[in-house]
Every structure is written in C-alpha cells, then in structure tokens.
Amino acid sequence: MAAKLFIHEFLQQSEFIPVVDVRSPAEFETGHIVGAQNIPLFSNEERAIIGTIYKKQGKTQAILEGLSIVGTKLADFSRKALKIAKDNKLLVYCWRGGMRSASMAWLFEKVGIETFTLDGGYKAYRNEVITSFDKINNLVVVGGYTGSGKTDILIQIKNLNQQVIDLEKIASHKGSTFGALGQAEKQPSSEHFSNLLFTELQKFDFSKPIWVEDESKRIGTIHQPDNFFEKLRDAFLIKVNLSLENRIKRLLTDYGNFEKELLIEAIERISKRLGNEFAKKAIEAIEQNDLETAIAISLHYYDKTYAFGLSKRNNENVYELDLNNLQETRWGQKTIDFYYNLKK
C-alpha cells in the first residue's frame, strides 16, 4: 500500500519527485498543484457518467462501471507513469485523497514505482494555498496611474536582489482593457492563479519586504484571492508620480505596434464605462493613426478609476514619489531608498 503524506511533506518531496494528478482533465484545467502532470483515471465524460450512476444506483454500481471503463487503460496509465517517474518514485493525488489516487497508486506500485499519495488530496492543497496568504505581513506596493512605469520599476527592484511578485505575469494580463495584448499564454482560472501565486510566495522570506504592483481585485478575467487582496489594500504603498505626457509616451511604446482592430476591440470593451461619446472619439483617433489621442481619452477613465481605488486605502500608508526628473534606469533604486528612508 502506498504511503500517505500530509500536505507540507508532500510539497517538500515535490521538489525532488514528480507529481501526478489523476483527476479529470476539466478538474486539472481549473486548478492543480503547480508542476503536476495529468494522468486522468477518467475522462470528463466518464467521470460524469460514474457520478450519475453513483447518485442513482449507489456506490457499488459506480465502482463496477469505473472498473469496466479503466480496465483497458491500465497498461497505458502504467507506461505514462513510468515515463514521468524519477528514480522510480511518484507523488499522486486526487480530489480528496480517496479512491482515485489509491487505485492509481496501487497500479503504479505494481509496475515497480514507489508511490506516495496526498492525505486529503487537492482539497488539502487548496486549504494550504488560501490560508498561506494570511501569513503575509510585509508587502510593499508600488502604485501609480496607468503608464507610470510600475512594471519596469519592479523589474529593476528585482534586479537589485529584492523579493518581487509579478501579479500581471502570473495572471498573463496587464490589468487594463489592453492587458491581454501581447500575452503569450491564456489566463489561468482564478483558482489556479492563487496556486501560482502561492508557489511564487514560497520562494520568499516573509520577514523581509515583498514588493508587488498595485492591482485591482480583478486582473483581466481572474479575481485575486480575497485574503491576499485585503493584504494588498492594507499594505504600505509608494505611489510613483509621472507626468501625463510621459505616461502617454510610455503607453505609445507599449501598445503602438498592435493592429488597429485589436486596439478598437479593447476600446469597445470599456465603451459604456468610458462613455459612448469618448469611446467613439477614441476609436476615430485609432482609425486616423492618432494613438496618442486615443490613449489620452482612455487615461481619463483609468485615472478616475485608480483615484477612486486609492481613496479606499488608509492615507497613513500612502506615500508619493516623484520620478519626473530622474533618469529611468535609476527608478528602481530610488524607490528602494525611498522606502527604507521612510522606515527608519
């Protein structure tokens, strides 16, 4: 019988031993332990069939149906597991750490793979993910209006050996209606976003500052975990100030090479919030290759939105830093120095 591991030991061992998720592809897609590979015991359709039988005919009939489904797949499961295993070892989990992971672990051990299962399954992992955000007490947030160079500042800060979380990278979205442009990957689900965030945070020392960009609760299609977002809102915030002219220049560099159709679609997505008349003017400007005007119109909306969000913060935790007369390559160091001088 495969040994069961509690979540902390399971995650520690996952640094050395490959992890296999035996849930259905749909479950895996919604969210999984970061780095896990999927060998589904049942397809999405098969799982639905078994679930229906369980409800209508009971556990025994559901098990019999499951056995008839997987009987022809056992060799294929074994071959996949043997390819994934490292030093003939695997970590395996399902939803609750029940029959699916136990069955697959039994099979894998029959072909010579030493297998460990996760006590409590993916549900235990999710509990660990969500409760971990309650332990964060040292976030430093870099804020500012759209186009203020916050992402570039964080890149510089990271290069100066500070701990940095890139929420937009994890979300595969830059936050605004234009945020999906240029992203190589589709956005994860909100659930898997929190899994990815948890994995990044495990690399850090929570006693030291963790730098992060100010973001709305929603980043594209994902929603940040409630307790993490509360930490973000309550954290020390450095609001960097850059002139409107400089912000427009930066955004022209970021978005000036995208096709007109994509930019127009982005404007159309916020037309009601922007105001139909302003949206119409922005679209006309894009069509006339006047992207500068289109950006200025969009910033009118985004600046109001950010100012409203900023008003919800505790003013005692908000500090302003002017970067207009400073060379861009020095923004990161200036922000770090500004923070540590305030903390003295």
Q: Which residues are catalytic?
A: 94
CA 178, 184, 189, 194 dihedral sign is negative
Q: Which amino acid is at 123?
A: K
Q: Which amino acid is at 277?
A: E
Q: How many CB atoms lie within 10 A of CB 136?
A: 18
d(CA 193, CA 226): 12
- Strand partners of residue 241: 322
State both tokens at 81.
Answer: 């597991």
**216 Cα distance to chain centroid:** 13
Going by the DSSP 8-state scheme, the letter that residue 187 receives in this structure is P
Are the C-beta atoms of residues 214 and 237 closer than 8 Å to each other?
Answer: yes
Q: How far apart are CA 36 and CA 94, in angstroms?
A: 11
d(CA 239, CA 42): 50
Angle formed by the axes of helices 244-255 and 291-311, to 10°?
120
Helices (H), the chain: 7-13, 25-30, 44-57, 59-70, 74-84, 99-110, 121-132, 150-159, 167-171, 190-201, 226-234, 244-255, 260-269, 271-274, 276-287, 291-311, 331-343
Contacts of 172 (CB under 8 A, 6+ apart): 180, 183, 184, 185, 186, 187, 188, 220
